[in-house]
Chains A and B, each alone.
Chain A
Amino acid sequence: MFNSAKETFMSGNYIENFFRKLGKPLVRFTAGLGELSLFIAKSVYNSVTPPFYLKLLGKQMIDIGFYSLPVVALTTIFAGMVIALQTYSGFSSYGAESAIASVVLISVTRELAPVFSGLMVAGRIGAAMAAEIGTMRVTEQIDALVTLSTNPFKYLVAPRVLAGVMVLPLLVLIGDVIGIFGGFIIAVYKLGFNPANYINSTINGLESLDIITGVVKACVFGFIIAIMGCYNGYKSRGGAQGVGEATTNAVVSASILILIFNYIITELLFAK
């Protein structure tokens, strides 16, 4: 029995089938990774070399930044509020006031504001980018750009990537303030702390590293959102269905990458 099992194993069918099954997705994955790397390289190169389409950049900054303010404000304020509440229920026996202020400060600036803003903007903007560029791809508008001697990477991708990298940090800074304010509301109006003391603890606890961490994360997240939106749109095929898939892929891949890179950046900055 052992022998016959060994025989089939040795006969090669087993190994061959195994590698054949593994091979196709592996090759496809590797090819996809290569394609994405090339896309990123082209995007970065074209983002930092002229000509720059400043009008398009401005439009993207308004789309990504200004119109994302309401969702970012809503998510960060509730994030700050819930952290204040949870910290109180966990730490109430200790010196709660300063503990709550600094926990809210650290968690909002380092983690919650960047991650929530990133995820919200990925849903809002990553999807819109993939849908718009995808539609342009399947209706041959991207080909039309090329025949009109315009580089689609400079005209379509660069403004989005630059706007993503520049605007997300601003959004996160605003999210920081709003999130901390959310914690303040709960601390003062629900838990009955002294507002002046709470503000004092917040200011005393403030460290530039916390803010910088959030801003660095925001830059990376902005880049990820724009690249995944543009890449998925750019390579979409096959009409409305293809554009739909591109949109989903853009949001899902950007969200996952945001969480992965959030960990990596935290590890790089804080692991001792």
Chain B
Amino acid sequence: MSEYKIQVKNLHKAFGKKVVLDGVDIEIKKGESLVVIGGSGTGKSVLIKCIQGLLTPDEGSIKVDGVEINGADEDVRDAMHAKMGMLFQGGALFDSLSVWENVAFGLIENQKWKRKDAKNEAIRVLRQVGLAPDVADLSPSELSGGMQKRVSLARAIATKPEIIFFDEPTTGLDPIMADVINDLIIESARGLGATALTITHDMASARKIADKIAMLYKGKIIWCGTVKEMEKTDNPYVCQFINGSSQGPIKVEV
């Protein structure tokens, strides 16, 4: 087996004439937490969706546990999805189902749990992310944004995945709630020994949950290193991004 859980090489993706990913390389070791930072609209979500097979890349190689995913059969993809959990940017909770049915979805539909056992497990996971059992029977639309994020996190970790993706987990939350979610991400990823890929533009969150940080700019990874290395780097792009300055090499296209 390969030492890397996820290996992405030379990934290209364009929508029509608009090139979004232009040769992305990423490697994540087993149990490691990589955070990809980058401005809005730089293609962070597209990157995660390509790795999960939700979008088909134009070119490049994506290996999970050493197995090529790009262009693979449905069986291979299904096996890969069974190892993965994903926290979506907007939560993406199923609004036709109750909170606990959302959390238990993977357990019931794929791991063939009995509904009663699955409900107990869902309530246990909900408690783990700080939600009381009485939200279990509510509909997702009855919850606040922060609570929806927690439910979505619970759904992502309920199947005990080996790899978890977090798409802007703290965007749209107040700083305190964001920090609570960061702690939950660290706890749940460490608790499962999972490999994590997080994308964000929230530097406080990135510093807290990352083993390694990579910066995506103009379709390429232009810098990669540990949090400590990031604080010391003199890469002008990274410096500008972490200081949140409008002055520097990154020009915001209006």
Contacts and interface: CB of A to CB of B under 8 A. Distances in A.
A140 B88 contact: yes
Given A141-B92, A141-B93, A141-B94, A147 B110 contact: no
B86 interface: yes
Interface in A130-177: 132, 136, 139-141, 143-150
Interface in B48-94: 49, 52-54, 78, 81-82, 84-86, 88-94
Nearest to A135: B95
Interface string B90-107: 111111100000000110
B109 interface: yes
What size tier do the contact residues of chain A reach?
10 to 19
B84 to A, nearest CB: 6
A224 to B, nearest CB: 24
A146 B92 contact: no
A144 B88 contact: yes
Interface string A76-91: 0000000000000000
Contacts of A144: 86, 88, 92-94, 155
Tell me the interface secondary structure of chain B in the complex: loop
A132 B97 CA distance: 13
B110 A139 contact: no
A147 B81 contact: yes
Interface residues of B, number: 25
Given A141-B94, A143-B54, A150 B110 contact: yes
A132 B86 CA distance: 22
Nearest to B80: A149
Nearest to A53: B109
- Interface hub of A136, A139, A144, A150 (most chain B Cβ within 10 A): A144
Interface string B159-170: 100000000000
Nearest to A141: B92
A146 B93 contact: no
A150 B86 contact: no
A148 B92 contact: no
Contacts of B93: 141, 144
- Interface hub of A143, A147, A150 (most chain B Cβ within 10 A): A147
Contact of A147 (B85, B89, B95, B96): B85
Contacts of B81: 146-149
A244 B88 CA distance: 23
Contact of B82 (A140, A145, A149): A149
A145 B155 CA distance: 11
Nearest to A144: B92
Nearest to B105: A148
A164 to B, nearest CB: 18
Interface in B102-140: 105-106, 109-110
Contacts of A141: 92-95
Contact of B52 (A139, A145, A147, A150): A147
Contacts of B78: 149
A141 B90 CA distance: 9
18 contacts: A139-B90, A140-B89, A141-B94, A143-B49, A143-B54, A144-B86, A144-B92, A144-B155, A145-B94, A146-B53, A147-B54, A147-B84, A148-B105, A148-B109, A148-B155, A149-B78, A149-B109, A149-B110
Interface of A: 132, 136, 139-141, 143-150
Interface of B: 49, 52-54, 78, 81-82, 84-86, 88-96, 105-106, 109-110, 155, 159
Given A148-B106, A148-B109, 10 more contacts: A136-B94, A139-B92, A140-B89, A140-B92, A143-B92, A144-B93, A146-B54, A147-B84, A148-B81, A149-B78
Name the 10 nearest CB pairs between A and B, nearest first.
A140-B92, A144-B92, A149-B81, A147-B86, A148-B106, A140-B88, A149-B110, A143-B54, A141-B92, A150-B109
